[in-house]
């Protein structure tokens, strides 16, 4: 998956999961700096996958929301990611896949300083 598809996926998935977010909140959730988030959101907005509006409560902040086009784009990226994952993990049986997912989740939680 190209780098732009990965970053697009991360932003779109975060908006789907959490709803509308400020660009600053997106950056914090995804571990991206403000310039990276701004570039990704600008690209996604030009494709009408997200809508970026000034926050009525604080016009210095931009609030980003997922559009219907963005939901469809996210679904397409997810299908490609699922196919790539299936190909990569083809040599593992279902129990081994579950074990791998559990271990990766534990590793990620540990890295983030959380308990698994």
Does 98 fall in a domain? no
In total, how many domains does the chain have?
Answer: 1
What is the average pLDDT across 80-88?
94
Give percent of the chain above pLDDT 90: 78
Does 55 fall in a domain? yes
Does 95 fall in a domain? no
Please give the Cα distance from 114 to 94 (Å, whole number).
27
Each residue of 22-71: pLDDT tens digit? 999 999 999 999 999 999 999 999 999 999 999 988 888 999 999 999 99
Res 68: pLDDT:
97
Q: Which residues contact 36 (CB under 8 A, 6 or more apart)?
A: 7, 27
The full length of the chain comes to 116
Mean pLDDT of the chain: 91
Please give the Cα distance from 11 to 22 (Å, whole number).
11
Does 103 fall in a domain? no
CATH of the domain at 62: 1.10.10.10
- pTM (2 d.p.): 0.78
Res 114: pLDDT:
59
């Amino acid at each position: 998956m190209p780098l732009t598809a990965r970053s697009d996926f991360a932003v779109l998935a975060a908006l789907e999961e959490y709803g509308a977010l400020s660009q600053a909140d997106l950056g914090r959730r995804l571990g991206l700096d403000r310039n990276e988030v701004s570039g990704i959101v600008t690209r996604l907005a030009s494709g009408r996958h997200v809508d970026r509006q000034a926050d009525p409560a604080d016009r210095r902040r931009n609030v980003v929301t997922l559009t219907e086009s963005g939901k469809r784009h996210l679904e397409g990226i997810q299908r490609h990611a699922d196919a790539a994952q299936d190909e990569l993990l083809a040599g593992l049986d279902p129990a081994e896949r579950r074990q791998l997912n559990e271990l990766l989740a534990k590793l990620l939680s540990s890295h983030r300083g959380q308990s698994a």
